[in-house]
Structure 1
Amino acid sequence: MKKALLGFTLIFILISFSLPAGAVEKEERKWQDETIYFLMIDRFNNGDNSNDYKVDVKDPKAYHGGDFEGITKQLDYIKDMGFTAIWLTPVFDNIDKGYHGYWINDFYATEEHFGTMEEFKRLVQEAHKRDIKIILDFVVNHVAPGHPWLEGPDKKDWFHQEKEITNWNSQEDLENGWLYGLPDLDQDNPDVRKYLLDAAKWWIEETDIDGYRLDTVRHVPVDFWNDFSREVKSVKEDFYLIGEVWSNDPNYIAQYDKAGIDGFVDYPLNDHLRTAFSQPDQTLDWLFSTAKRNESIYEDPYLMGTFLDNHDTVRFTRDIIQNNHHPGPRWRLALTYLYTSPGIPIVYYGSEIALDGGEDPDNRRQMNFLTDKELIDYISRIGEIRGKLPSLTRGTFDVLHEEDGMAVYKREYQDEVSVIAINNSSQTQSVTIPTDQLEDGKELQGLLLNDLVRSEDGHYTVILDREEAEIYRLSDRTGLNMGFLAAILAVIGGFLLFLFVLSRRGKK
């Protein structure tokens, strides 16, 4: 009997594997295929109480206990949501109250509140085991207030003369002034330049990290970034550099693109994203215009980092609440666009639970892992879809329809076509897409809501409820697979006959 059952099981498995394959398997991963989870180490997860020095969770400007061990323990949580890279705030030794990591005291040591160098290396190793890349925040513009170098006789010339930035439109002021009173390093000094370049290369060689997020890029001379890019990529060729140039002028940002920085945190797009999705009935036209503009300005616009909020901005959830809307639907639509438009999505920790927060430091609240998982499940689903469809990370970008907040656009890569529909309005919407824009005789298979749209009379009709989104894959028409159905019926019939014969023998 066991042999018979085994035989039927094998037949069923063989038939199952004869089903048509799903999405085409991706080629070797590139940086544009990544999805980044950005977390502030001190505020994410406390995994080791032994390094809780001067911790005060009630003080928003004090250390709260997050550490390397806490991140390591939550790597599966991050991976399960579909993230393939993690951007960490600076890990370097800081002075007191430097919970955020940007007041660096020692470029060659880890912050004691976060853990040891060995614990950081283990974090990187465990992330790599899960196919997750690690990006470190690297600061070259300034050091901590009262840094010992300021008093040392051999390093006084390492800094620009102390003065505030009074003219924010002057590049000279931006590069030479002390940002928020922080001692400003002079990268034109050969010793300073060598020190910073050596430190940047040392961390790659020592810990095998995969990229740097470069802080305060516009406050440092362009020619320094030329050297920086060349030097770090001599250590690891596929090392990713994403710069922070806080400006709404993409032409200004592009000068650093030419200096070898791969991509940038896309602040010009961010303004439009927050305006479009913080409340319904807003046009998405500015988003599409920005995407097209990026194509003409940046060397590789698909390496730009797209985001809704971060540690320097008010939380996106706050925008939604102030507009008297529920965060869930607003976040789902915004994330759908983020995951399906050109660029690398960067999701700030806590977004998956719609964490609220105002100005710094309120936007850096502690993560809460004991909360509703509705949005987490949605992020996991769109992350899975983005990971399976190369068209969403590498494909062309064409708008098929945009009116009154209802938008439909197409991504195409090789033979794969994805169609994304977002109803950012307060009413059900219907859109007709002619077959001169989408191949006739096929169907749109919905991957989020399981919608199915077939071409009829030379067009596709997409209907979406209010504040809903769908990601479609353009596929051949499906129907009953008669051969497969006949095989299944034969197996079932054979199994029933086997049971009948077995029961007869049992009676005898």
Structure 2
Amino acid sequence: MKKITLILITLLFISALPAQAAIEKKERLWQDETVYSIMIDRFNNGDINNDIDANAKDPNVYNGGDFQGIIDKLDYIHDMGFTAIRLTPIFDNAKNGYHGYWVNDFYKTDEHFGSIKTFQKLVKEAHKRKIKVLIDFVTNNTAVSHPWVKDSSKQDWFHQKQEISDRNNQQSLENGWVNGLPDLNQDNPEVEKYLIDAAKWWIKKTDVDGYSLPEVNHVPLSFWTDFSNEVKKEKKDFFLLGVMSENTNIDMNQYHSVGIDSLFDYSQSEKLRKAFATTNQPFSPLTPAFESSQKKSGLMANFLDNEYTVRFTNDIVDERQFPGSRWKTALTYLYTTPGIPFFYYGTEIALIGGEVPDNRRQMNFRTEKELIDYITKLAEQRKQLASLTRGTMEMLYDKGGMVVYKRVYKGETSIIAINNSTKSQKVILTEDQLAGGKELRGLLAGDLVRSRDHQYILIVDRDVSEIYVLTEKSGIKISLIVSLIIVYILVGIFLFFIIKRRKNKKIV
């Protein structure tokens, strides 16, 4: 009887959901993910036993963060709604290589981060929480101290020592040394084989779900063709993210054509930062990139900052704005437009930071409940509404810092309204833009807008955003009333038998 009652109560709640509620996502696609990017050394110190030469007060050396520290915070990450994590390189590094980019050994974990066994545990624990794991895989260079550098038999494994002279010249990018680091010659078959074999080994050994590829545009396209073909044979839906150099003018389509699934676009990031660091900015410069993204299955990597850039909070403070409000507005846009949101650790506490290494400050887990709660709400909507991750995007209104756009997927329609201006805004949507006779139900602030005369009138306060789902007009639902009656009857019967049983026991 208890089970029947519980089942009917569950059906009752389901029947109370809006018509055209969330379309079930039968299989997770990469555009459904929301990624939390972590610099391992700066996130959380979970094991003090590996704090070799660590100094938490010096931003240029190891500070103590490690694999165990990430394991300890997986629930924290999961509870904010993130479905994937991206980690800086895990490989053994040269002295002070806290960031992971000075690789000394491609087959060992860095001793400051923990053993390969602990990393395997990290991946396993992440997968238990349905969190995917990406790691940076360095292919462009090694550390100066790498044994190959002094090995006379491997001199042709590197390009001749020379700095990059022209960042708009592809040959210079591919052959030049970045910051004095020995530049690998991927045209050498032995180098290509070694890097691909190592990449495949880590997939087999740890079950990671993808690689992010630093300085992807410093490596020949021919290498990426072979690399992507080989590593994707090791695991279904294995993901490759290209991390471009800043301010590059290279055509990104060519990287998609050789198997790179998604790319960081710094030029788009700069436009996002300009639009959201302060108020009353136009959104029009952002639109072309998202239109282009839709043609690539929504796999653009959207971000406001990362381990290479100044923190976005700095931009906000420079504009004398309140970080919480600006971050909420910016993240609403990031979470509801085509592509995959990449969220840099510390954003949830509006962490500040200038140029490298200041932008890589240690994470502080002090409570910033309001912003964290908002991020969690956004993530919930991304999970529930397929239109936010897979739908088409159409701009409906863009004026003076107020923007309204539509996402549509398999009959599900979401309307996103963002007021990034200094005053309340009124926007009228016509039947040409949105089917009349229905209503818009707000999922962030609980706003409700009914169609009147085939129009929807949105009134949005400053610094407020809303995600609406288009539904049939609410009213008295017969199915809801019937469900309630059945539940009450069954509960009554259940209580009757309980009372009768107790009376019988007393008589005995």
> Which of the five TM-score ranges fits, normalised by the shorter chain?
over 0.9
Residue equivalent to 1:371 = 367
Structure 1 residue 146: deviation in Å?
A: 2.6
Query: Equivalent residues in 2 for 1:4-19 (5 A)?
Result: 15-19=12-16
Letter in 1 for 2:16: L
* Cα distance in structure 2, aligned partners of 1:483 and 1:167: 69
Residue equivalent to 2:425 = 429
Letter in 2 for 1:155: K
Structure 1 residue 165: deviation in Å?
A: 1.2
**TM-score, normalised by the number of residues in structure 2:** 0.93
SS at match of 2:202: helix
SS at match of 1:109: strand
* Cα distance in structure 2, aligned partners of 1:462 and 1:192: 59
* Cα distance in structure 1, aligned partners of 2:389 and 2:48: 40
* Cα distance in structure 1, aligned partners of 2:63 and 2:479: 62
Q: Does residue 316 of structure 1 match 2:312?
A: yes
Distance 1:143 1:483, change over 3 A: closer
Moved more, 99-108 or 242-251: 242-251
Structure 1 residue 481: deviation in Å?
A: 2.8
Figure out how many residues of one structure are paired with residues of the other and give that number. Answer: 497
Residue equivalent to 2:178 = 179
Letter in 1 for 2:275: A
Structure 1 residue 246: deviation in Å?
A: 2.4
Residue equivalent to 1:245 = 244
* Cα distance in structure 1, aligned partners of 2:367 and 2:449: 36
Letter in 2 for 1:342: P
Distance 1:285 1:193, change over 3 A: same
**TM-score, normalised by the number of residues in structure 1:** 0.93
Letter in 1 for 2:68: E
* Cα distance in structure 2, aligned partners of 1:35 and 1:11: 34
Query: Equivalent residues in 2 for 1:456-471 (5 A)?
Result: 456-471=452-467
Structure 1 residue 108: deviation in Å?
A: 0.1
Letter in 2 for 1:403: K
Question: Which runs of 5 or more structure 2 residues have no equivalent in the other structure?
Answer: 504-508
Letter in 1 for 2:212: R
Distance 1:7 1:419, change over 3 A: closer
Letter in 1 for 2:374: Y
Asked whether the equivalents of residues 324 and 350 of structure 2 are also in contact (C-alpha less than 8 Å), the reply is: yes
Letter in 1 for 2:356: D
Distance 1:181 1:445, change over 3 A: same
Distance 1:484 1:221, change over 3 A: closer
- Kindly provide the CA deviation profile for residues 9-49 of structure 1, in whole angstroms up to 9, marking residues without a partner as x: 78756644543464222120111111100000000011111
Distance 1:11 1:98, change over 3 A: closer
Asked whether the equivalents of residues 429 and 464 of structure 1 are also in contact (C-alpha less than 8 Å), the reply is: yes
SS at match of 1:169: coil
Asked whether the equivalents of residues 294 and 338 of structure 2 are also in contact (C-alpha less than 8 Å), the reply is: no
* Cα distance in structure 2, aligned partners of 1:8 and 1:164: 73
* Cα distance in structure 2, aligned partners of 1:401 and 1:250: 30
Asked whether the equivalents of residues 86 and 132 of structure 1 are also in contact (C-alpha less than 8 Å), the reply is: yes
Residue equivalent to 1:235 = 234
Letter in 1 for 2:402: M
Residue equivalent to 1:59 = 58
Structure 1 residue 449: deviation in Å?
A: 0.5
Moved more, 80-89 or 168-177: 168-177
Structure 1 residue 396: deviation in Å?
A: 0.5
Structure 1 residue 224: deviation in Å?
A: 0.7
Query: Equivalent residues in 2 for 1:260-339 (5 A)?
Result: 260-295=259-294, 300=296, 302-339=298-335
Asked whether the equivalents of residues 247 and 253 of structure 1 are also in contact (C-alpha less than 8 Å), the reply is: no
Q: Does residue 393 of structure 1 match 2:389?
A: yes
Residue equivalent to 1:439 = 435
Letter in 2 for 1:466: R
Letter in 2 for 1:103: W
* Cα distance in structure 2, aligned partners of 1:217 and 1:149: 22
Structure ranking higher on relative contact order (CA contacts 8 Å, 6+ apart): 2
Residue equivalent to 1:477 = 473
- Kindly provide the CA deviation profile for residues 174-213 of structure 1, in whole angstroms up to 9, marking residues without a partner as x: 1111111001111111111111111011111111100000
Residue equivalent to 2:376 = 380
- Kindly provide the CA deviation profile for residues 92-118 of structure 1, in whole angstroms up to 9, marking residues without a partner as x: 000110000000000000000000000
Letter in 2 for 1:70: G
Structure 1 residue 253: deviation in Å?
A: 2.1
Letter in 1 for 2:130: D
Percentage identity across aligned positions? 53
Q: Does residue 151 of structure 1 match 2:150?
A: yes
Moved more, 234-243 or 11-20: 11-20
Distance 1:488 1:55, change over 3 A: same
* Cα distance in structure 2, aligned partners of 1:75 and 1:389: 24
Distance 1:453 1:144, change over 3 A: same
Q: Does residue 94 of structure 1 match 2:115?
A: no
Structure 1 residue 144: deviation in Å?
A: 0.7
Residue equivalent to 2:506 = none
Q: Does residue 405 of structure 1 match 2:401?
A: yes
Residue equivalent to 1:44 = 43
